[in-house]
Amino acid sequence: MRPTEHSFVAGDRLYSINEVPTDDIRHTDITITLDGRRQWHFSAKGWRRLSVGYNGSTPYLWTARSVVVLPRSAKDEPSVIPVEDEDVLYVFSTEGGWLLVCETSLRLFRNEVEVARAEFGEVLMHASFDRGSLTLVDMGSASYRFLVGAQSLTDVTNNPAV
């Protein structure tokens, strides 16, 4: 695999992401550059494509096993949320935290600490998040719906009134 470079704009900031494969196919070296000046270096689990997100104020990216919340200032450092036991598929920003959709679980983080989790028997394939309501679809086409609170995940799959 060859090195790849991606760029994205978050508000008035330009981020460049350079991915360099290592000899171990399970890892990749990542360099993030802010506005062409400040750089941060990471080694990440590299078997899944790197993904990026922006919630209107905070840019972030995720790899197979971590979420990196990017700083908006060259004076600050990124924060990393590691996930050791399962691949991260999607990441959504919530009020004061992060919602991670993993292969067979849903996890809510506040201040880089997991505060709620839901487990599934099948691999998750799709997720959509709208105004505090998360919809998931698994490999067997089963759908689930959760209300996301500040510290909780409430399963409302079988409650059409909610």
If one counts every other C-beta atom within 10 angstroms of the C-beta of residue 6, the result is: 12
At residue 113's C-alpha, the angle toward residues 65 and 162, to 5°, is 95
- Interatomic CA distance for residues 92 and 81, integer angstroms: 13
- Interatomic CA distance for residues 135 and 128, integer angstroms: 5
Distances (CA, A) of 140 to 6, 60, 95, 118: 34, 30, 31, 17
Say what the pLDDT of residue 71 is: 94
Say what the pLDDT of residue 47 is: 83
Question: pLDDT tens per residue, the chain (162 residues)?
Answer: 688 999 999 999 999 999 998 888 888 999 999 999 999 999 988 788 899 999 999 999 999 999 999 999 999 999 999 999 999 999 999 988 999 999 999 999 998 999 999 999 999 999 999 999 999 999 999 999 999 999 999 999 987 666
Say what the pLDDT of residue 46 is: 74
Distances (CA, A) of 33 to 38, 74, 79, 108, 158: 6, 9, 15, 28, 46
Contact 43, 27 (CB under 8 A): yes
